[in-house]
Copies of this chain bind each other. A is one copy, B any other.
């Protein structure tokens, strides 16, 4: 496999052999190692020394079900630390097939011009992209697919990334895509914008270019993996995830009192039933939309949907739980139609819905509009695309909105907004938010699924649970596996080892895999330490330790001493 080095300053590309230090790494693991080896952790995240990395996971391109996620990473302008954010779709699979371990984008153009990088089966070239300036992600992807073929994959930024907003993300659009996936968190779209890179277009790979080390071993394991997912009552064809998408959990999160409502003022929303996955399914099916579709070809879970309006016209896909929580209940909105419309706008501008929803929540608390007032919220959000100062402020994320508007109730850690679980009543997630090198993130070690094993309201057991989940998350993010696909590989890590060994012939053991997963966290923590991030920076906001959350009157009461020792067992 190769690394594709892209120099935006010289407008040169180079395919190079993978240096040995990166050889056994994929996705998030590769990003962490590459950043700590190649950039100064104190560099300006939007300056010329940051690097933006696109890396499929270790399983990318091998045809493993649900394993085609693309990791994107850089030093985050939002957290000031290491960042990996991944998205489903076709990019991870395509890059894997092309034999590209990563695309590493370095430097900034000498002019203010924008470029498209076009990656073909055997080379890559720059194309001036001035005509795409100011376009949203949908129009950008449409134009590029019209130009380069409907089967190419487009990774692009919208207006938010061009404006260098810290809430900007990167949209990933594939063949026949139902409206794009997003590598949403940490402001990576701003890094791409700072590099003058409007889009990366990746041609469809003819076939996998790298041969298997032990195809028999690989096939047996990957087949069993797929079968176990199909057999899983939650994930299989009759499971909630397939039937209701990620929103299958809405009711349960609301029930445990962790559903962020009106800027995290409450953990339960009186209209939560209107935001349930079951409700969403009914609406979508009654209007002729689609549900139970796939972002990655061959995915056996198929949690995706295409939300349509009353006329049956596509609005957004896929409408997800985190968006429903942050843009819905958190803004006091009870209609999925409203959430979908705002979700569309965020996607088009190229904005993280979690960060933007939280930022809007803080803005509403400051009185810029009323909670539940959809039209006014649209008016606020619209300004991000228009690039007004107010729009840029909201697009900068929740922490900055709070700072400017004088609001201290900001649900963020390391400058990054919390996803759809209030940590006061799901304390395991609080531990993850307050210790993960990725900042508050729902994929870094989400304890919701373990709520029946560890009581979400007690202190005991959270620290151990979070560490375990963070190690698993590191594995998923480094192999390209979707979070939902974790049960079989948690139950039997040998399954993962066999797939990796079948592809690469490394003769890994379960211990090698475990060490590798832990190394991801170690590397990331070390990057952040060098970037100047300390325990004091990782803390849950003060108000959440003091302001009780309805309905359980819970505060975040995990002692600092627990937080400070989470990684002692790493």
Q: Which of A's residues lie within 8 Å of B, judged by CB?
A: 41-44, 46-47, 49, 163-166, 190, 368, 389-390, 392-393, 396, 400, 403-406, 408, 530-537, 539, 541-543
Task: Return chain B residues, CB-CB under 8 Å to A408.
Answer: 44, 46-47
Q: Is the CB of A44 within 8 A of B542?
A: yes
4 closest A-B pairs by CB: A532-B536, A164-B406, A532-B534, A44-B542
- From B44, B47, B393, B542, A43 is in contact (CB under 8 Å) with B542
Q: Is the CB of A543 within 8 A of B42?
A: no
User: How many copies are assembled?
Assistant: 2
Q: Is the CB of A536 within 8 A of B41?
A: yes
Q: Is the CB of B532 within 8 A of A535?
A: yes
Residue among A166, A389, A530, A531 with max Cβ neighbours from chain B (10 Å)? A389
A531–B536 Cα distance when bound, in Å, is 6
Q: Is the CB of A42 within 8 A of B541?
A: no
Task: Return chain B residues, CB-CB under 8 Å to A533.
Answer: 532
- Contact A532/B543 with A390-B389, A404-B400, A408-B44 known, Cβ cut-off 8 Å: no
Task: Return chain B residues, CB-CB under 8 Å to A390.
Answer: 389-390
Q: Is the CB of B543 within 8 A of A537?
A: no
A543–B44 Cα distance when bound, in Å, is 9
Q: Is the CB of B542 within 8 A of A536?
A: no
Residue among A42, A47, A404, A539 with max Cβ neighbours from chain B (10 Å)? A404
Task: Return chain B residues, CB-CB under 8 Å to A539.
Answer: 42
Task: Return chain B residues, CB-CB under 8 Å to A541.
Answer: 44
Q: How far is the CB of A110 from chain B (nearest CB, A)?
A: 14
- From B47, B396, B536, A543 is in contact (CB under 8 Å) with B47
A406–B400 Cα distance when bound, in Å, is 13
Residue among A43, A536, A537, A539 with max Cβ neighbours from chain B (10 Å)? A536
A531–B404 Cα distance when bound, in Å, is 21
- From B41, B42, B536, A42 is in contact (CB under 8 Å) with B536
Task: Return chain B residues, CB-CB under 8 Å to A535.
Answer: 532
Q: How far is the CB of A399 from chain B (nearest CB, A)?
A: 10
Closest to A77 in B: B403
A304–B541 Cα distance when bound, in Å, is 44
Q: How far is the CB of A531 from chain B (nearest CB, A)?
A: 6
Q: Is the CB of B542 within 8 A of A403?
A: no
- Contact A537/B532 with A400-B400, A406-B164 known, Cβ cut-off 8 Å: yes
- Contact A166/B403 with A393-B389, A534-B534, A536-B41 known, Cβ cut-off 8 Å: yes
- Could you name 17 residue pairs across A and B whose Cβ atoms are closer than 8 Å? A42-B536, A42-B539, A44-B408, A44-B541, A46-B406, A47-B408, A47-B542, A164-B406, A190-B406, A389-B390, A393-B404, A400-B403, A404-B404, A530-B536, A531-B536, A532-B534, A532-B535
A165–B366 Cα distance when bound, in Å, is 13
Residue among A163, A164, A535, A539 with max Cβ neighbours from chain B (10 Å)? A164
A396–B401 Cα distance when bound, in Å, is 11
A533–B80 Cα distance when bound, in Å, is 13
Known interface pairs A390-B390, A532-B534, A532-B536; 12 further A-B residue pairs with C-beta atoms within 8 A, sorted by A's residue number: A41-B536, A43-B542, A44-B408, A44-B542, A46-B406, A46-B408, A47-B542, A393-B393, A404-B404, A531-B536, A532-B537, A534-B534
A534–B532 Cα distance when bound, in Å, is 5
Q: How far is the CB of A173 from chain B (nearest CB, A)?
A: 25
